């Protein structure tokens, strides 16, 4: 017999139905239902927010090949702790996810070890080298839902144009890490006053802006959609906003760290603030927030990028870029966006769940009857110290910091996968 239960007394937030109010949520088996029988289990969630499980379009699980940093089991455990029920794994594994055999291997590991739903992205080009398209049709047949050379921006406009055209044929979402490589060869942090003060190589925002503009032009030319990853620059936000106003099919994401931190955090040379793209100025941060508020930025994605203590505990210019973020994303974004009055809880859940699910075309981001029962219970007023991580790596600036707004329990297909 299928398990039935009803969650009562929660504040239910569902952007797919523009719902924000106290009501019952019914689950039968693995799906949401219109109702349940009289003897169904009752979960009292008074004082909690119930929302669709979060969807992260940008996660590095490092598996296969880099499991000293993260693996599917630990990465998805961290995702569940952060309220994420669906994540997209980036293809910069070892070997890269650029062929059906590697995708089959990863799919088998996901089926065996994942605690949440993991969707696989594939490379745009073979080996992420930017020289020859990967076999996109074959990747799609293996279940890949998106393509990106994340971490290695495709420099050739011709190859990127072809990728968009083929992706449109195969119903693949094209996602791009926007970085003009010749401008960032010595880049360590944002090019500006802080980089001069610290004597570190500058990474100009123009390196992002140039590729953002190029990709938007190509999307218009090919009549395709482009999704722009981890936007950090105020100029890029303005370009995206203008493109949307002119009808270009473009979406973009911002990370919790770019929404909340600036390059001033690097004054002590703490490598846990070193990321790609780099933290930028307060003006850039405010522009990102403005973009989130007015819809230029449609998605919050973590770019969860684990590295070992040994990786990060070295000279600044030798340390890798990236921080973890799955477990702290909700708390950080709630503080920056909701607590400050920039958006409401409905808007935050839309950014973290409903809109990314729509862009990925997956069954998530909604509490509608018939949908998979992926949801999260949140105590939005709970204060806690982030003192323990379920990720294999600890490279986060929020470790040991007090945060507000805590994920209490996460459900995937009606089953609890994490509980505080």
Q: What is the pLDDT along the chain (420 residues), one digit of tens a residue?
A: 789 999 999 999 999 999 999 999 999 999 999 999 999 999 999 999 999 999 999 999 999 999 999 999 999 999 999 999 999 999 999 999 999 999 999 999 999 999 999 999 999 999 999 999 999 999 999 999 999 999 999 999 999 999 999 999 999 999 999 999 999 999 999 999 999 999 999 999 999 999 999 999 999 999 999 999 999 999 999 999 999 999 999 999 999 999 999 999 999 999 999 999 999 999 999 999 999 999 999 999 999 999 999 999 999 999 999 999 999 999 999 999 999 999 999 999 999 999 999 999 999 999 999 999 999 999 999 999 999 999 999 999 999 999 999 999 999 999 999 999
In the DSSP assignment, the letter for residue 336 is I
| Percent composition of the chain: helix, strand, coil (DSSP 3-state, to 5) | 35, 25, 40
pLDDT at 129: 98
List CB contacts of 316: < 8 A, sequence separation 6 or more. 188, 200, 269, 271, 274
State the Cα–Cα distance between residues 97 and 144, nearest whole angstrom.
Answer: 10
State the Cα–Cα distance between residues 63 and 114, nearest whole angstrom.
Answer: 11
One DSSP character per residue, 202-241 reads: EE-THHHHHHHHHHHHHHHHHT--EEE-S---HHHHHHHH
Q: Residue 316: how many CB atoms within 10 A of its CB?
A: 15
Q: Is the peptide bond before 277 cis (omega within 30 degrees of 0)?
A: yes
Q: Residue 349: how many CB atoms within 10 A of its CB?
A: 26
State the Cα–Cα distance between residues 256 and 259, nearest whole angstrom.
Answer: 5
State the Cα–Cα distance between residues 343 and 326, nearest whole angstrom.
Answer: 21
Domains and CATH numbers, the chain: 4-48+372-419 (2.30.40.10), 53-360 (3.20.20.140)
State the Cα–Cα distance between residues 233 and 285, nearest whole angstrom.
Answer: 8
Length of the chain: 420
Cβ atoms of 51 and 14 within 8 Å: the answer is: yes
Beta strands in 225-323 (DSSP E): 226-228, 250-254, 299-300
Q: Which residues are catalytic?
A: 303
Q: Which helix (DSSP H) or strand (DSSP E) does residue 117 occupy? A: strand 117-122
- Name the 3-class secondary structure at 326: coil
- Name the 3-class secondary structure at 120: strand
- Read off φ and ψ for residue 394, nearest 5 degrees: -120, 20
Cβ atoms of 359 and 86 within 8 Å: the answer is: no
Q: CA separation (Å) from 30 to 3, 53, 129? A: 8, 14, 41
């Amino acid at each position: 017999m299928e398990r039935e239960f009803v969650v009562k007394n929660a504040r239910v937030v569902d952007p797919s139905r523009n719902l924000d109010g106290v009501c019952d949520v019914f689950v039968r088996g693995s799906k949401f239902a219109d109702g349940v029988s009289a003897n169904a289990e009752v979960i009292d969630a008074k004082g909690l927010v119930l929302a669709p499980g979060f969807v992260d379009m940008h996660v590095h699980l490092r598996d296969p090949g880099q499991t000293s940093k993260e693996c599917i089991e630990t990465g998805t455990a961290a995702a569940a702790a952060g309220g994420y029920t669906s994540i997209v794994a980036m293809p910069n594994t070892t070997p890269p996810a650029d062929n059906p055999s590697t995708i089959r291997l990863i799919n088998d590991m996901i089926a065996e070890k994942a605690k949440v739903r993991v969707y696989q992205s594939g490379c745009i080009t073979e080996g992420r080298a930017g020289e020859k398209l990967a076999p996109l049709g074959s990747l799609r047949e293996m279940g890949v839902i998106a393509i990106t050379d994340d971490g290695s921006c495709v420099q050739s406009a011709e190859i990127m144009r072809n990728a968009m055209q083929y992706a449109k044929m195969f119903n693949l979402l094209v996602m791009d890490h926007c970085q003009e490589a010749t401008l960032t060869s010595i880049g360590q942090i944002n090019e500006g006053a802080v980089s001069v003060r610290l004597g570190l190589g500058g990474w100009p925002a123009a390196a992002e802006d140039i590729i953002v503009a190029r990709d938007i032009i190509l999307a218009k030319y090919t009549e395709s959609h482009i999704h722009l990853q981890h936007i950090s620059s105020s100029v890029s936000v303005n370009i995206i906003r203008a493109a949307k106003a002119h009808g270009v099919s473009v979406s973009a994401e911002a990370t919790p760290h770019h929404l909340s931190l600036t390059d001033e955090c690097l004054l002590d040379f703490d490598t846990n603030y070193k990321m790609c793209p780099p933290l930028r100025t307060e003006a850039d941060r405010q522009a990102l927030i403005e973009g989130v508020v007015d819809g230029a930025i449609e998605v919050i994605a973590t770019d969860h990028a684990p590295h070992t203590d040994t990786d990060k505990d070295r000279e600044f210019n030798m340390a890798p870029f990236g921080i973890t973020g799955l477990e702290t994303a909700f708390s950080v974004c709630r503080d920056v966006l909701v607590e400050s009055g920039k958006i409401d809880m409905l808007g935050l859940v839309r950014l973290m769940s409903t809109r990314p699910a729509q862009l990925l075309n997956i069954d998530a981001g909604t509490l509608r009857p018939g949908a998979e029962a992926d949801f999260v219970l949140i105590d939005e007023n709970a204060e806690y110290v982030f003192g323990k991580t379920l990720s294999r790596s600890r490279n986060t600036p929020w470790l040991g910091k007090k945060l507000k707004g805590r994920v209490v329990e996460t459900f995937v297909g009606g089953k609890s996968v994490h509980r505080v």
